[in-house]
Amino acid sequence: MSEPLNGKKIAFLATDGVEQIELTRPWKDLQGAGATLELVSLEAGEIQGFHKLDKAHTFPVDKTVADTDAADYDALVLPGGVANPDLLRMDENAVSFVKKFLNEHKPVAAICHGPWTLIEADGLKGKTLTSFPSLKTDIRNAGGTWVDEEVHVSDGLITSRNPDDLDAFSAKIIEVMSPAG
Say which CATH topology domain 9-177 has.
Answer: Rossmann fold (3.40.50)
Known catalytic residues are 112-113
Bridge partners for 100 per DSSP: none
Residue-level pLDDT, tens digit, the chain, 181 residues: 468 999 999 999 999 999 999 999 999 999 999 999 999 999 999 999 999 999 999 999 999 999 999 999 999 999 999 999 999 999 999 999 999 999 999 999 999 999 999 999 999 999 999 999 999 999 999 999 999 999 999 999 999 999 999 999 999 999 999 987 6
Residue 173: count of CB within 10 angstroms of its CB = 28
| β pairing state of 36-41 and 63-64 | parallel
Sign of the CA dihedral with 62 first, then 64, 69, and 71 last: positive
The pTM for the full model equals 0.97
Dihedrals phi, psi of 91, to nearest 5 degrees: -105, 120
Which pLDDT belongs to residue 176?
96
Q: What is the dihedral of CA 136, 137, 140, 141, to 10 degrees?
A: -150
What gap in Å lies between CA 175 and CA 60, rounded to an integer? 27
All residues at 6 or more sequence positions from 94 whose CB lies less than 8 Å from its CB, including other chains? 13, 42, 65, 88, 117
